[in-house]
């Protein structure tokens, strides 16, 4: 697919994303008041969303990053999740919020949550910008969801095509039409 010659259809505009991120920040602030919040951002896809989200959470919090992989450069999960970079901090006494760009099969989030629970946190919950429940392969429902979307390949706002387009400030799908 020559993405640059195709029509990009905006699925979530920059304005919609910013508004929903503010709403999620307020919800999370309310839910974690009087708790010891530790945000874990799953790299690389969630870095844009996580940065915007943590600035909307009006609490003292810690942030760290994990890198996992199940996609490599394809459009579908390989089905095998690998943790490439783990957090090193002891999570005892923390309420952990795992932030990711998208939940589709649920395999990555499920694997990461299971792994983080071995680090003795008070709780582990999840927050995703995009939820694609029609592709779920495991019993997982994110605790905080930005947008529920149809089963289409999405790009932008942290989500990549190959190694590119993470910097596009909105989420789009590529149509079959040429420009």
**Are 58 and 24 contacting, i.e. CB atoms less than 8 angstroms apart?**
no
Catalytic-labelled residue, pool 104, 131, 151, 176: 104
**Residue 104 annotated in active site:** yes
Strand 82-85 versus strand 61-69 pairing type: antiparallel
d(CA 103, CA 108): 8
Torsion of CA 47, 51, 54, 60, to 10 degrees: 100
As annotated, the active-site residues are 104
């Amino acid at each position: 697919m020559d993405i640059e010659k195709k029509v990009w259809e905006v699925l979530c505009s920059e304005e919609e994303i910013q508004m929903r991120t503010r709403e999620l920040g307020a919800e999370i602030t309310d839910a974690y008041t009087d708790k010891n919040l530790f945000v874990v951002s799953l790299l690389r896809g969630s870095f844009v969303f996580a940065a915007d989200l943590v600035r909307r959470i009006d609490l003292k919090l810690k942030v760290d990053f994990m890198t996992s992989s199940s996609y490599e450069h394809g459009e579908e999960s390989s089905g095998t999740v690998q943790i490439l970079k783990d957090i090193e901090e002891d999570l005892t006494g923390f309420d952990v919020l795992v932030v990711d760009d998208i939940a589709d099969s649920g395999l990555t989030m499920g694997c990461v949550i299971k792994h983080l629970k071995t680090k003795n946190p008070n709780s582990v919950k999840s927050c995703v910008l995009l939820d694609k429940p029609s592709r779920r392969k495991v019993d997982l429902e994110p605790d905080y969801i930005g947008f529920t979307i149809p089963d289409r390949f999405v790009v932008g706002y942290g989500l990549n095509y190959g190694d590119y387009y993470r910097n596009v400030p909105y989420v789009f799908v590529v149509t079959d039409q040429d420009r």
